[in-house]
Chains A and B, each alone.
Chain A
Amino acid sequence: MADIQKQFEKFHDNIRLANENRILKEKRDVLKNNLGDALKKNDDAPTVDKYLLQGSYAIHTGINPPNSDYDIDIGVVFDCTKEAFGALKLKNIVKEALDHSSRDPKLKNPCITIQYTKDGEDEYHVDMPVYVKRDDGKGYDLAWGKNSSSEDWLHSDPEGLVDEINGKYSDEDERAQFRRVVKYLKAWKGMKFTAFTIPSIGLTLSTWEMFAPDIDFYDNSKNDLAALKKTVARILSAFRWVAGVEGKSLYRLQICLPVSPRNDVFEKLTDQQMTELKDKMESLLDTLKYAENEERSEKACKELKKHLPDFPVPSTLETAKASVLSLNNTGSSS
């Protein structure tokens, strides 16, 4: 078996969204201040109780987006309950407060989105879900909808989700490997799915439920290839057959949020799309198995590069020991 842990670590360094990503932090702070100031001018607006750090940033599984459109999630919690406002009314108050010559906030069902561009290209976008408090103190109510027909309040627990995800693996090395495996799968998804998107939370929670760590008991050495392979194999084994259409079987994987509203995070994907996810994951698994068997690191990495974007491939010379200059006699065979 080729030892390609070094290549996995280098790959991880390339894809990970560095924690100290200052720019994103600055953007978040600017937006929070602007929103706070604008809301103060509006007598109808409730006061902001707090902002929530959520999304991949909060669970340390952020990766550099393939199209460099960074994603910032900031939840805003108002100091009131759902009885005080209609969901849409509250979202519109926030939208107006954010409206600015250089910003064009848009209503989406779960949040308000602001797309920032630079030189005509998407640079990053901010997703801002709007919450209000609940009397029972269990999570929040999320303002849902973008028009009167979709308007609703949904019980949601973003902090509980972050705590659940961050709290499962108490061993520091296992937790770090879990986060790396999530990032590998997100990078894989970015490369393999262009016609439709697989929700990142789906891959994160699948890994969270079925993660199989691989860290040596004696010397603590990490084997990310094995961890990724075992985790993908377990996720694949959880797909179940749902229908056969024109001779082709269709499959689904159901992964529910571990907190309210406990819905299936893959619910928006069709059976065909879920089956495509399974097919592509099987192809990934085949390559991971091959890479585990292949003795020559450069061959293993070259195959992995077909599934993991820009996976580093060592040169053939790096993979071998130095040898003596030979002496070769002539000879006969028959």
Chain B
Amino acid sequence: MSPQIVKSVGQAIRYTKTDKSRIIFDEAVIDTLMCYRQNSSLKVEAGGLLLGRHLKGGSHIAVDLVSEPMRGDRRTRTSFFRGRGHERFAHECWHNSKGVFAYLGNWHTHPCMYPLPSETDFDDWRNVLKNDIYEGKNLYFVIVGTKGLACWEGCSQHGKFVKLEEYIFP
């Protein structure tokens, strides 16, 4: 099938994980992230957590929703501090879904076209990979640039990060 047909069904974005299965960002999630793009000089950095499902019958992961900037965060043009409220949001989702909606990683924005993680970003990613509690051994990290997003996979076993390739249906 040509990619155009898939697009008409949904604007979900997929990346191939290192185990060859996929992480799927739902259309609604993409729409939300796109709203926070720093595509004007007035917009400050934004961030939050990635939440969703470990799908049955394989190891695909679906990102169904994200937490968005909230009280307790600190935001400037070039920095974002993720406050305590995001964990509360994650717990609320987990409880409401009877333990299905899992914490999958985090996201933030960068005021450039093709984002790369800064040292501060790596410090945060390494910290959460080591000290957070989550399902499995991987977390996923998204940076939203002014043109689009990029996704990295972090592995708790060796503390390394791999940039993932976008997956297009054959």
On A, residues with C-beta under 8 Å from B are: 2-3, 286-287, 289-290, 293, 295-297, 299, 303, 316-317, 319-334
Bound Cα distance from A295 to B53, whole angstroms = 11
Report whether B120 and A333 are in contact in the complex, using a CB–CB cutoff of 8 Å: yes
Which residue in chain A gives the minimum CB-CB distance to B21? Answer: A295
Which residue in chain A gives the minimum CB-CB distance to B118? Answer: A334
A173 to chain B, nearest CB (A): 21
Q: How big is the B interface, by class?
A: 35 or more
B86 at the interface (CB under 8 A from A): yes
B131 at the interface (CB under 8 A from A): yes
A18 to chain B, nearest CB (A): 30
Q: Which of A290, A321, A332 contacts B82 (CB 8 A)?
A: A332
A221 to chain B, nearest CB (A): 12
Which residue in chain A gives the minimum CB-CB distance to B10? Answer: A299
Q: With A295-B62, A324-B135, A329-B128 as given contacts, are A334 and B121 in contact (CB-CB < 8 Å)? A: yes
A217 to chain B, nearest CB (A): 20
Q: With A286-B1, A323-B54 as given contacts, are A296 and B124 in contact (CB-CB < 8 Å)? A: no
Bound Cα distance from A106 to B28, whole angstroms = 56
B161 at the interface (CB under 8 A from A): no
Q: Which of B10, B57, B62, B132 contacts A326 (CB 8 A)?
A: B132
Q: Is the interface of B mostly helix, strand, loop or mixed?
A: mixed
Bound Cα distance from A316 to B53, whole angstroms = 9
Which chain B positions have C-beta within 8 A of A328? 49, 86-87, 90, 103, 128, 132
Bound Cα distance from A322 to B101, whole angstroms = 8
Q: With A316-B53, A323-B99 as given contacts, are A290 and B83 in contact (CB-CB < 8 Å)? A: no
Which chain A positions have C-beta within 8 A of B56? 3, 319-321
Bound Cα distance from A327 to B135, whole angstroms = 11
Report whether A332 and B124 are in contact in the complex, using a CB–CB cutoff of 8 Å: yes
B98 at the interface (CB under 8 A from A): yes
Report whether B128 and A319 are in contact in the complex, using a CB–CB cutoff of 8 Å: no
B127 at the interface (CB under 8 A from A): yes
Report whether A326 and B90 are in contact in the complex, using a CB–CB cutoff of 8 Å: yes
Which chain A positions have C-beta within 8 A of B134? 323-324, 326
Q: Which of B22, B81, B94, B121 contacts A295 (CB 8 A)?
A: B22
A–B pairs, 24, beta carbons within 8 Å: A290-B5, A290-B6, A299-B10, A317-B97, A317-B98, A319-B53, A320-B53, A321-B54, A321-B56, A321-B100, A321-B135, A322-B99, A323-B101, A324-B134, A326-B132, A327-B87, A328-B86, A329-B128, A330-B86, A331-B82, A332-B79, A332-B80, A333-B47, A333-B118
Bound Cα distance from A324 to B94, whole angstroms = 9
B45 at the interface (CB under 8 A from A): yes
A242 to chain B, nearest CB (A): 26
Bound Cα distance from A17 to B55, whole angstroms = 34
Which chain A positions have C-beta within 8 A of B131? 327, 329
Q: With A289-B1, A331-B128, A333-B79 as given contacts, are A326 and B103 in contact (CB-CB < 8 Å)? A: yes
Digitize B132-145: 1 where CB-to-A-CB distance is under 8 Å, 0 elsewhere: 11110000000000
Q: With A321-B54, A331-B128 as given contacts, are A295 and B82 in contact (CB-CB < 8 Å)? A: no
Report whether B9 and A290 are in contact in the complex, using a CB–CB cutoff of 8 Å: yes
Bound Cα distance from A321 to B61, whole angstroms = 10
Report whether B83 and A330 are in contact in the complex, using a CB–CB cutoff of 8 Å: yes
Bound Cα distance from A290 to B108, whole angstroms = 31
Report whether B100 and A322 are in contact in the complex, using a CB–CB cutoff of 8 Å: yes
Listed from nearest, the 8 A-B pairs whose CB atoms lie closest are A323-B102, A320-B53, A326-B103, A331-B124, A328-B87, A327-B133, A323-B135, A295-B60
Which residue in chain B gives the minimum CB-CB distance to A332? Answer: B81
Report whether B99 and A325 are in contact in the complex, using a CB–CB cutoff of 8 Å: yes
| With A287-B9, A319-B53, A328-B132 already in contact, 20 other A-B pairs whose C-beta atoms are closer than 8 Å | A2-B57, A290-B6, A296-B24, A296-B62, A316-B97, A320-B54, A321-B135, A323-B103, A324-B134, A326-B87, A326-B134, A327-B131, A328-B90, A330-B83, A330-B86, A331-B82, A332-B123, A333-B80, A333-B118, A334-B121
